[in-house]
């Protein structure tokens, strides 16, 4: 009797895995994978089973017998295997009978099914598939279940958090050194002679570059001693700044966009993550930054400004200010508009605030769309000047990426210092309990406006760089989806966590580019990835230390290890100062 | 001159007069108590003092300054701090950070100062941390500095609320049921702490409390509210002997029924006085 429940759960997991496999087959993923299709799908099922079983089942001891887990996982694998083999066999026999499924499922073609059987498409049409093939498929899925159980047991034997380096001596150093190894690999891949990844070498390299940045953040977090921190930090910075010079144009262009969004996410993180003010119209400040810089550097694009300049006797065909001198202007205007938005919404909270800010974002976009004399309407502002040092233009993707890196670093630094100050504490207090914060002496008006204004300033800076990257900007660049992207970035990364925002930007803006291989389904695949991510790690990839304790209470005992905790930025720096 | 002088304070919610023409004076460095049955208007009166509610009538002078019309944060800056009946800490912050938020009005660092981490800002932060440690030590939370507030034990959360309130160096501290939910020995410690606040730090205290042992033990002055009106005031002994207080808590006796149509009153939370 006692084993009924685990088995039922195993069957459930098998059914879900079957649903995922069906989806993958219907959208034609096997076509892309070719001969490797079924093994790859099996590996995915193994990972899925591991993800589902890695936590102890409710009502069962964490150390229930290995045989129970194995039985459960193999059941899941068998169920998924039997069902998917039946489905594939159904398709196979229908195709052998000459039934065309393509009008209904446009990706269910002989090529697709053939990949699953690892035979040639012609064999499908001729009905030459051996009856042993489904048995082989069921067997592979059962093995996948076994592999999933193995992963669960391996994970369990190393403690609940095997990745937490302080449990395994030496692992800490592996994590610290990993980004440098990856970096060397990325550089090596850049050599024309390197053939790793074949035709997909560029994509592989881009993915590796992103993983390198991600692992760099984990590396920095692992360096616990102040001195280690400085050395690792300096080396990582040097590595990051070298990265643009080794990647190619496309890779740099993607990474530039990633880090522009990281800049924006870091700004939004102040408003939403620190101060708890849910802002859905954040794109407005990004747009304002971009348009202000466009007005300054390409005044001839705007009929109204051109006219004014001619009246004043100024030549409208040259930029009014260079990129660097324009920076304070854009930031100041974004800052003021942030404060101006803040004033009407001061008394609003939560949902109401979200709706009003959402409206503000749309107002700005519609303004830009319809104020044709000023903004040139849907035709946009064209030929925006790139940043330059003297006569040396920095407009190529390489330098835009470099500037975005520097900008993100600068904003991260500012955000860290602000959060670790009287103002940052006031923001957190306001987020936790607004009324009590006020009764404790915090001026809500001032604190809220500062949050909006700081966030807007950073978004403005990101917008300016974005305008320089795009060269031509249009109102369509600044839709609601940009706000949603920015918000997703900070939620996926971990609300209130600076490295989390960068990781979120890499995952959300970078991964879709890597996933271009599965073209039209990439957004769907990506959405599935997000849903899974939010189920498995609701507090984000790299959560802020305090927030983590807030969301996962059952994990607290694991968190409370003696000694300095590198996870808690604020707490650690308090310790440093008090010792 | 009394530290706090409230006269004719009135607060109306719709048709309900929650606080009705209440006068209250508190002398410096005394411990005053505000008691009364549930719903008598005690917490509402607190909220009027701290600016969370704006009274419809009356006047409140604190240290010679009028309070009505000021925002809660301005009132805190003048020197009034409070705790809450249902504990309201900043749950995600550590104990130390909670006390540092309490010190907000005492600190002056600017946004630019925080960005550049100027010498003055660093000095101020260092002093604030030192002071937060002292205050936690004072209320008996030494060693809990880095515990996240919501993970503290219940009694410790009450203590942390007091430490946070002390952060603003108040002249007047309002304690809303500080001993609620505490066991007898914790209550003893709380009474000792309240006395130390007055004797060591020279803080004037106004407390709401249902536990009559606390009220009778620590108070220099007791005021009794019922139906939003002040019905008695005096030393603990005077209040204990006042028949209107007994009536408010226990309801009028059957033979004492005045015939004004008032129904027998709700039950007291804690029997106020021994029958003797």
Interface of B with A in 223-262 (CB under 8 A): none
Which of B115, B122, B174 to probe by mutation at the A interface, max A CB count within 10 Å? B115
The CA distance from B258 to the nearest CA of chain A, in Å, is: 43
Q: Is A312 helix (H, G, I), strand (E, B) or coil?
A: helix
Which of A416, A427, A430, A439 to probe by mutation at the B interface, max B CB count within 10 Å? A439
Is there a contact between B110 and B168 (Cβ–Cβ < 8 Å)?
A: no
Low-confidence ranges of chain A (pLDDT < 50): 1, 160-166, 547-579
Please list every residue in chain A whose beta carbon sits closer than 8 Å to the beta carbon of residue B164: 440
What string of H, E and C letters represents the secondary structure of A163-224? CCHHHCCCHHHHHHHHHHHHHHHHHHHCCCCCCCCHHHHHHHHHHHHHHHHHHHHHHHHHCC
Taking an 8 Å cut-off on Cβ atoms, the answer to whether B91 and A421 are in contact is no
d(CA A416, CA A353): 25
What string of H, E and C letters represents the secondary structure of B154-205? HHHHHHHHHHHHHCCCCCEEEEECCCCCCCHHHHHHHHHHHHHHHHHHCCEE
Nearest to A439 among B50, B92, B114 (CB): B50
**Residue in A closest to B121 by C-alpha:** A421
User: Taking CA A488 as the corner, what is the angle to CA A234 and CA A354, rounded to the nearest 5 degrees?
Assistant: 125
**Residue in A closest to B81 by C-alpha:** A440
Nearest to A432 among B73, B93, B111 (CB): B93
Is there a contact between A514 and A210 (Cβ–Cβ < 8 Å)?
A: yes
Q: Hey, what are A77's tokens?
A: 């694998």
Interface of B with A in 145-164 (CB under 8 A): 146, 148, 150-151, 164
Q: Hey, what are A181's tokens?
A: 């190894």
Which of A422, A426, A568 to probe by mutation at the B interface, max B CB count within 10 Å? A422
**Residue in A closest to B84 by C-alpha:** A436
The CA distance from B225 to the nearest CA of chain A, in Å, is: 24
Please list every residue in chain A whose beta carbon sits closer than 8 Å to the beta carbon of residue B111: 418, 423, 450, 454
Is there a contact between A495 and A542 (Cβ–Cβ < 8 Å)?
A: no
A116-153 pLDDT, tens per residue?
A: 888 888 888 888 888 889 999 999 999 999 999 988 88
The CA distance from A158 to the nearest CA of chain B, in Å, is: 27
Low-confidence ranges of chain B (pLDDT < 50): 254-269, 271-276
**Residue in B closest to A414 by C-alpha:** B115
Q: Hey, what are B160's tokens?
A: 């942390």
Helix (H) or strand (E) holding B17: strand B16-26
> What ipTM goes with this model?
0.88
Q: Phi first, then psi: what are they for B16, rounded to 5°?
A: -105, 125
| Residue B93 contacts A, CB cutoff 8 Å | yes
Taking an 8 Å cut-off on Cβ atoms, the answer to whether A418 and B111 are in contact is yes
Taking an 8 Å cut-off on Cβ atoms, the answer to whether B90 and A435 are in contact is no
d(CA A248, CA A255): 10
Interface of B with A in 107-126 (CB under 8 A): 107, 109, 111, 114-115, 117, 121, 124-126
Taking an 8 Å cut-off on Cβ atoms, the answer to whether A578 and B111 are in contact is no
Please list every residue in chain A whose beta carbon sits closer than 8 Å to the beta carbon of residue B50: 439
The CA distance from A297 to the nearest CA of chain B, in Å, is: 29
- Distance of alpha carbon A448 from its chain centroid, rounded? 27
Taking an 8 Å cut-off on Cβ atoms, the answer to whether A428 and B104 are in contact is no
Please list every residue in chain A whose beta carbon sits closer than 8 Å to the beta carbon of residue B90: 428-429, 432-433, 436-437
| Residue B127 contacts A, CB cutoff 8 Å | no
- The pLDDT of residue A527 is 76
d(CA A380, CA A369): 8
Taking an 8 Å cut-off on Cβ atoms, the answer to whether B90 and A547 are in contact is no
Residues of A with CB under 8 A from a CB of B: 414, 417-418, 420-426, 428-429, 431-433, 435-444, 450, 454, 546-547, 549-550, 556, 570-571, 574-575, 577-578
Taking an 8 Å cut-off on Cβ atoms, the answer to whether B97 and A435 are in contact is no
Query: How many residues are given for chain A?
Result: 579
Residues with Cβ within 8 Å of B120's Cβ and at least 6 positions away in sequence, in order, are: B109, B113
Domain spans in chain A, listed from the N-terminal domain onward: 4-160, 171-247, 249-478
State the CB neighbour count (10 A cutoff) for residue A524: 12
The CA distance from B92 to the nearest CA of chain A, in Å, is: 6
The residues facing B4 across adjacent strands are: B26, B62
User: Taking CA A556 as the corner, what is the angle to CA A573 and CA B146, rounded to the nearest 5 degrees?
Assistant: 30
- Distance of alpha carbon A40 from its chain centroid, rounded? 24
């Amino acid at each position: 009797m006692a084993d009924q429940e685990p088995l039922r759960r195993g069957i459930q997991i098998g059914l879900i895995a079957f649903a995922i496999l069906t989806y993958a087959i219907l959208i034609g993923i096997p076509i892309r994978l070719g001969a490797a299709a079924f093994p790859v799908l099996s590996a995915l099922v193994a990972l899925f089973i591991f993800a589902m079983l890695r936590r102890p089942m409710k009502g069962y001891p964490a150390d229930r017998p290995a045989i129970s887990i194995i039985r459960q996982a193999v059941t899941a694998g068998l169920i998924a295997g039997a069902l998917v083999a039946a489905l594939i066999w159904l398709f196979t026999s229908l195709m052998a009978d000459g039934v065309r499924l393509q009008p209904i499922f446009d990706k269910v073609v002989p090529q697709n099914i053939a990949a699953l059987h690892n035979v040639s498409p012609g064999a499908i049409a001729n009905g030459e598939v051996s009856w042993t093939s489904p048995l082989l498929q069921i067997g592979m899925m059962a093995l996948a279940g076994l592999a999933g159980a193995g992963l669960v047991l391996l994970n369990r034997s190393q403690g609940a958090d095997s990745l937490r380096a302080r449990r395994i001596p030496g692992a800490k150093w592996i994590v610290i050194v990993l980004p440098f190894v990856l970096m060397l690999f990325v550089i090596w891949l850049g050599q024309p002679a390197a053939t790793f990844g074949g035709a997909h070498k560029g994509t592989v390299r881009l993915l590796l570059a992103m993983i390198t940045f991600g692992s760099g953040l984990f590396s920095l977090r692992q360096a616990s001693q102040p001195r280690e921190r400085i050395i690792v930090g300096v080396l990582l910075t040097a590595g990051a700044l070298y990265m643009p010079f080794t990647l190619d144009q496309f890779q740099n262009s993607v990474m530039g966009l990633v880090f522009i969004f990281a800049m924006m996410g870091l700004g939004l993180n102040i408003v939403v993550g620190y101060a708890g003010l849910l802002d859905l119209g954040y794109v407005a400040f990004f747009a304002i930054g971009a348009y202000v810089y466009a007005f300054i550097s390409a005044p001839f694009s705007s009929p109204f400004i051109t006219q004014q300049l001619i009246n004043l006797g100024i030549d409208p065909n040259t930029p009014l200010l260079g990129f660097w001198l324009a920076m304070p202007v854009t930031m100041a205007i974004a800052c003021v508009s942030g404060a101006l938005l803040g004033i009407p919404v001061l008394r609003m909270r939560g949902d109401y605030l979200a709706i009003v800010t959402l409206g503000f974002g749309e107002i700005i976009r519609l303004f830009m769309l319809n104020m044709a004399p000023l903004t040139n309407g849907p035709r946009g502002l064209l030929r925006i000047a790139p940043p330059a040092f003297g006569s040396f233009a920095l407009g190529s993707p390489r330098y835009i990426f470099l500037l975005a890196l520097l900008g993100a670093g600068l904003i991260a630094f500012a955000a860290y210092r602000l959060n670790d100050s009287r103002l940052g504490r006031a923001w957190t207090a306001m987020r936790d309990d607004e009324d009590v914060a006020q009764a404790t002496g915090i001026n809500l008006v001032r604190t809220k406006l500062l949050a909006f204004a700081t966030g807007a300033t950073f978004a403005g800076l990101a917008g300016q760089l974005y305008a320089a990257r795009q060269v031509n900007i249009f109102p369509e660049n600044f839709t609601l989806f940009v706000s949603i992207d920015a918000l997703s970035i900070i939620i996926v990364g971990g609300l209130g966590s600076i490295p989390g925002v960068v990781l979120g930007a890499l995952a959300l803006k970078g991964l879709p580019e890597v996933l271009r291989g599965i073209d039209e389904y990439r957004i769907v695949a990506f959405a599935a990835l997000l849903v899974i991510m939010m189920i498995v790690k609701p507090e984000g990839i790299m959560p802020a230390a305090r927030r983590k304790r807030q969301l996962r209470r059952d994990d607290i005992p694991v968190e409370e290890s003696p000694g300095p905790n590198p996870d808690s930025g604020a707490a650690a720096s308090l310790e440093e100062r008090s010792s | 001159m009394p530290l706090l002088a409230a006269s004719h304070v009135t607060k109306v919610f719709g048709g309900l007069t929650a606080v009705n023409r209440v006068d209250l004076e508190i002398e410096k460095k005394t411990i005053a108590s505000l008691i009364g049955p549930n719903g008598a208007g005690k917490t509402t009166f607190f909220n009027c003092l701290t600016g969370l509610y704006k009274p419809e009538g009356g006047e409140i002078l604190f240290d010679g300054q009028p309070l009505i019309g000021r925002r809660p944060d301005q009132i805190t800056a003048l020197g009034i701090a409070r705790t809450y009946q249902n504990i309201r800490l900043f749950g995600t912050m550590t104990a130390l950070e909670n006390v540092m938020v309490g010190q907000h009005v005492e600190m002056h660092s600017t946004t630019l100062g925080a960005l550049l981490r100027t010498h003055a800002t660093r000095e101020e932060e260092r002093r604030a941390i030192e002071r937060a440690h002292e205050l936690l030590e004072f209320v008996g939370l030494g060693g809990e500095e880095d515990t996240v507030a919501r993970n503290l034990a219940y009694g410790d959360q009450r203590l942390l609320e007091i430490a946070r309130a002390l952060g603003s160096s108040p002249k007047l501290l309002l304690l809303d049921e500080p001993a609620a939910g505490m066991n007898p020995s914790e209550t003893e410690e709380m009474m000792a702490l309240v006395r130390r606040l007055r004797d060591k730090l020279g803080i004037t205290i106004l407390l709401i409390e249902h536990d009559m042992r606390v009220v009778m033990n620590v108070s220099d002055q007791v005021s009794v509210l019922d139906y939003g009106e002040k019905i008695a005031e005096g030393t603990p002994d005077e209040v204990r002997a006042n028949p209107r207080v007994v009536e408010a808590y226990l309801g009028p006796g059957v033979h004492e029924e005045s015939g004004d149509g008032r129904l027998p009153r709700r039950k007291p939370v804690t029997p106020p006085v021994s029958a003797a």
